[in-house]
Amino acid sequence: MGRNITSNLRIGFGEDTHRLEPGGPLRLGGVDVPHDRQLIGHSDADVLLHAVTDALLGAATLPDIGRIFPNTDEANRNRDSAELLVIAANKVAKAGYSIVNLDCVVHAQRPKLADYLDAIRHRVANILGLDPHQIGLKAKTGEGVGPVGHEEAIVARCVALLEEMDA
């Protein structure tokens, strides 16, 4: 089938969940947030950067983060998620897209993230070579309900808007 695209804009959605364990600090969006718990994962478990990575890859119809950076590959153990995001962003650019903006939400019961949101936005922008105003970021609690509310996990979601270059 041929491509019947009527717009040069593409939307992608990314979501990730990681369990929490005692220890710290908590790494979110490439920023270490003081906390008595940390995220568990094969890489550095930065749930926000993983959601951003998948949103970008999805918008460009590229394979997801787990297929590009499988947790069965020892080269990805404790790997910096910022490095994974840069590689993914380069794949998106090579596919012919530029990032218009991102809108992200982090669901965490604790710690309160309000004091860290600006630093995280700036760090994500820096990783991607964007202006911080292209990064939307909100924090929500779990209202004491479910894995987030019981402080068992942190969830991040991201929507990415891409524009086809030279369209």
Does residue 16 lie in a domain region?
yes
Of 5 and 83, more confident: 83
Q: What are the distances in angstroms from CA 134 to CA 17, 21, 156, 164?
A: 24, 32, 18, 17
Residue 18 contacts residue 166 (beta carbons within 8 Å) = no
pLDDT recorded at residue 77: 87
Percent of the chain residues past pLDDT 70, beyond the cut: 96
CA–CA gap between residue 92 and residue 87 (Å, rounded)? 9
Query: What are 16's two structure tokens?
Result: 């990730």
Could you tell me if 44 and 78 are in contact, meaning their C-beta atoms sit under 8 angstroms apart?
Answer: yes
pLDDT-based confidence at 112, cuts 50/70/90?
A: very high
Residue 99 within a domain: yes
Say if 1 falls within a structural domain. Answer: no
Whether 1 shows a pLDDT value over 70: the answer reads no
Q: Has residue 78 been placed in a domain?
A: yes
Total domains present in the chain: 1
Q: Which residues lie closer than 8 Å to 150 by C-beta, 6 or more apart?
A: 109, 142, 144
The CATH number assigned to the domain holding 102 equals 3.30.1330.50
Residue 127 belongs to some domain of the structure:
yes
Structural domain that includes position 113: 9-164
Calculate mean pLDDT across residues 47-61: 98
pTM above 0.85, yes or no: yes
Using alpha carbons only, give the angle 21, 26, 113 rounded to the nearest 5 degrees: 120
* Within-domain flag for 2: no
147: phi then psi, degrees, rounded to nearest 5 = -60, -35
91 domain-assigned: yes
Tell me what the mean pLDDT of segment 22-33 comes to.
95
Q: Which band of pLDDT confidence, cut at 50, 70 and 90, is reported for residue 76? A: confident
